Each structure stands twice: as structure tokens, then as C-alpha cells.
Chain A
Amino acid sequence: MADITLQVNGSERKLSVSPNTPLLWVLRDNLELTGTKFGCGAGLCGACTVHVDGAPLRSCSTPVSQVNGKNIVTIEGLGANGLHALQQAWIAEDVPQCGYCQSGQIMTAAALLARTPRPSDDDITQAMTGNICRCGTYDRIRRAIHRAAGGGQ
């Protein structure tokens, strides 16, 4: 067991868990933040994407000890004051179908927009290829990212 301190969505959270526990399960089971999803457990699908110190990270494959003391943002905390522009765009484009992958899609897209505010189609493809959607919402994801970036849609 290890004592861990995390800054999650702006709040300090202290807990004692096995240090190799993936951040995903700490968020979901210990902190009851279930918006971050389990899809593959192997960093292949992106459903578990969160931000650690602003960078997108696969929480299913990250031992919690590696992020001790760091700033973590999950889908629940993305829009600190209301909905993030991407969440608004996701609603405007009616992106989700089953919706299960969408937290990870939005977190990945948010990291993209943070470093590339007006991404090209190629930028979007490159950033979003790690996130699988079995319902095939890719076209609307692309449109929503352009919309959030102020692409005039």
C-alpha cells in the first residue's frame, strides 16, 4: 500500500492503495468518478483518457504511483465553469450514439485544442486515431472539433 495524493478536478484527494493500481480504477472505484471508462485495459482504445498536468494520458495503463502529486482532470472536471466548448459542440453536432467512448474522445480532443487551437483535418486524424468508437461517430467527432475550434460550422 502507498499513500497517494492527487489533485483531481481541482480538489485534493488522499488515499491509500496498492501503488501499481492503474489511475483508471482509482478514479472509478475509489473516487467514484465513473465518467472515465474502461475499454481495453491496454492503452489501445482511449476510453480511459484523462489529463495529467494538461497532457492526455491513458489512465488504464498508468500506475497511480506515477501520478502522485499531479493535477488530474477527468471528463467531470473538464468544464470547470459550465460546459467546455467541445462539450457544447458535441451536443450541437449530436455526436454520441452509445456514448461509452465519448469521455475519452472529448478529453483527447481537448488536449488537441489546448496545443492546436485551429486544427486541420490531418491534425484531428493524428490526435484522435488512438480513440476507438465502435458506433462509428468519427465524422461527427471531426465536425464537433472543428465547430469548437471556431471553424464556422
Chain B
Amino acid sequence: MATDTPAIQVDNLVRRFGDVEALSHVSVSIRKGEFFSLLGPSGCGKTTLLRCIGGLDIPDEGVIRIDGTDARQIPAHKRPVNTVFQSYALFPHLTVSDNIAFGLRMKNVPKQEIGGRVTRVMDMVEIPKLADRKPAQLSGGQKQRVALARAIVNEPMVLLLDEPLGALDLKLRKQLQVELLQLQRRLGITFIYVTHDQEEALVMSDRIAVMSTGKIVQMGDAEDIYEHPRTRYVSQFLGSCNLLDATVKRRGASDAVVQTSVGELRVELGANPSEAARRDQFTVAIRPEKVSLSGPNEAPGENRIKVKVEQLIYIGSETHYVLRAGDGVELKAQALNVRGCAPEFDIGKEAIAFLPAAGLLILDD
């Protein structure tokens, strides 16, 4: 098997429930050894896609290939794919070690080997002493690790994780995120991770596919998706974003001057302007952390806008500002509290917001 055969290849998948298309012509190619996330709100189809790959659901149209082989020829229980369920789905009547050994027993792995593999995997997920407990005696985090161990002990080619950290508290979640990432790097297994938490996806993934109503809206690596969202939806799903309608006034070789509701702005178009950038009207976006504030007396200049500070939200490490520009348009800005909260930008004060041309993005919609 060539290493560049994708671990999972999905072509044009369609899955309908009644009149609703839960998956609408979805295609994606997932590489071996990568940590791939499906990100989106509830109902976007990410879990449905995961279940189709795992064999728990059967698509109405389209093909799924696992390491090159058409999955339709492999029934669910024979696929080299294992799932970690959102509700953990541990077998209540079996002990932890029997739970973990389940998959190995189904495959008739010799008894002597089972013991060793189970112990090793339990060490890997750091639950060495829980072997004889029953699931009802475990905490959420422990159940999570058992579910993980039960899946990876089978050494699957692909591991599917369905919002595994959703039920845990914040601190535990963050700790497990890091552990899962390290585990994946160590094992080299392809992980397909479903989540609605954009921060989680950004922290852990090599690549992210953002989904909405059954379609993949944008796919790319974490930084790419965050810094270069292509649609309003993606820009606001990952982090937040200021969105402005823009009309082109003048075009340059690699930039343009546009008229927006906050005034005139210069936008960089780059060497290969996108199809949207070639239109006369498009959406311009800028992330709040790219907007910088300075005192009202600073000299006016390109992309500098007079604003009034309407709201101030102190987060601890950052301060978030809600600003009002001339015509009542709202702008959001963020600043790191490097020297504590900046006193000159208090509520009601006037300031100048600078929207650097390099930080202005042009969206497809």
C-alpha cells in the first residue's frame, strides 16, 4: 500500500433523512497520519459523515474508500476503523479490562497476547490501576480514557472521535486535548475528530474542514482557515470578525480603494486576486485583534477611522472593545493587556482605529 493513498477518500457523499439532506455531495480526502477535524454547529452533518466512514450509517449516494478499498465491500464490523463515542458507550456489564479487550476477543487474538496489549494501552492512556473497575465506578475523565483505550488497542488505521470531550469540565478538557494530540503523534494513527468547539479544533488539528448544513464550506490547515476565511460563515464561526460591505472606487495593480460604511479603505489584492476581488462589490473582513487603537489626537491617515469606545470587556489577558464609527457602524477590536488594561480607551472616550490593509480580507460572499 502506497503511503500516499489517502487513509479515507470520500467522494460525493449524499445522505438523506426524509426530505432533509444531512450530507450534500461531500467530498474530502484525508491523509494517513494526520489529525483531521470536522468542525461545525449541531446539525451540520459532521457526525453523520463520521458515522458513514465508520460504517454505522450507510450513505444514499457516493463512495467511501478506506485505504483505497471501496467501503461498501466491507461491513462495519470488519473495517480497520474504530470509534470513540460521545457518550463513551462503555459496556456496563464488563470490567475496564474486559471492555478494552472486547475488540481483540472478537478478532480471536490469542489470550496471552490480549493481556499484554491491554496493559500497554492502559499505561498509554494513564489508567493503569482501573483494570477491575466497572464503568459505573468511573469518573467522566476516566471513562473517556477507557473508551479511547478500547478503540486504540485494536491498532486501527483510522480512529474516529465524536465530540469525545464534550461532557468534561473546562480544565479537564484542555488537559485531554493536549494528551490526545500527543497520543496521536506517538501512535501515528489517522485521527478524524468531530467537534463544535473551534478553539479545540485549532489547538489539535493538522487540517480542519468547516461544515454547515451538510456541506464542507472550507478546508485547510488551522492557520490557513483562521487567517484566510473565505465566507462570512467561516469568518464568524472561527473567532469573530468585523464584516463590511465594500464598493470599489479605484483599482490599482495589486490593491484597490473601496468605500465602506466606516469610510474609505485601501485593500490589498495580492498577486492572484480571487474571483470575488475582481467584482465591484464584495465583503471586506478584518479580525478584531488586527484592529489597533490609538489616541484621538493621532494624525489621520490611510485606513484610520474615528471611533468612540462604547463597551469594554475585560477578559484578564485581553481587553475586548466594542467601538462605534461615524455612521453608527459597530467595530470590534481586541488588545493584549501587556501593561494592564489601557486607561486611555475607557468607555465614552474617542479614539482612532487603524485597519491595516494587510489585515483586510476579501470574502467570497
Chain A complexes with chain B:
no
Q: Which residues of A contact B (CB under 8 A)?
A: none
